[in-house]
Homo-oligomer: A and B are copies of this chain.
Amino acid sequence: MSKRSQQTINTEQNRGTVSVIQGQASGATTTSSRPPGGSLQLVPQLVPATPAGGGGKAKMKKTSGDKDSDEYRQRRERNNLAVKKSRMRSKQKAQDTQQRVNELKEENERLEAKIKLLSKELSVLKDLFLEHAHNLADNVQAPGAEGASPAHNNNNNNNGACNNNNNSSQ
């Protein structure tokens, strides 16, 4: 697809300095250019350093004025590269984070399943345990032949909820 393009200079709310410079040697600084009918316009007029080799303090090192210069171009290119790299990384990171979410979600499900299983196991075991406890109680009385305690057939209809919930809130 290839894209090449332009840039723009945006004299934003140019209060202080104005970065604005045109690239070309051919003037056309095209500053204001707000044709009639525009609702919003400003008073550009700030074109700061016209590197025209005049008498001002124009101080450009190499070729043209600060822009388009060898060094400038080099710096830009480096920065562009850095930017690209940085963005790539950023994107990668976001992607990784998303994936992490998915992994964690899976893990969570696994853990919950496990909890469910353990809970069930525990429940069964507790029931068994209770049952045996009752058996024991019977046995204690039965063999003695002279039980000193009432409550025989302990039909403990434990049809209630023997819920031993162990919720650990936090």
Interface residues of A (CB under 8 A from B): 1-20, 22-38, 40-42, 44, 62-64, 67-70, 73, 94, 97-98, 100-101, 104-105, 107-108, 110-115, 117-119, 121-123, 125-136, 138-139, 142-143, 145-147, 150-168, 170
Check B30 against A18 for contact (C-beta < 8 Å): no
CB distance from A108 to the nearest CB of B (A): 6
Query: Within 8 Å CB of A161, what residues of B?
Result: 160-163
A115 and B33 contacting across the interface, CB-CB below 8 Å: no
A interface majority secondary structure:
loop
Q: How far is the CB of A43 from chain B (nearest CB, A)?
A: 10
Q: Hey, which chain B residues are within 8 Å of A115, CB to CB?
A: 111, 114-115, 118, 166, 168
List residues of chain B with CB within 8 A of the CB of A4. Answer: 9-14, 16-20, 32-34, 41-42, 44
Cβ contact of A38, chosen from B29, B70, B151, B156, cutoff 8 A: B70
- Verify B5–A5 contact, CB threshold 8 A: no
Please give the distance in Å from A48's CB to the nearest CB on chain B: 12
Report the Cα distance A37→B144, complex, angstroms: 114
Give chain B residues whose Cβ lies under 8 Å from the Cβ of A130.
156, 158
Taken together as a complex, chains A and B put the C-alpha atoms of A12 and B38 apart, in Å, by 31
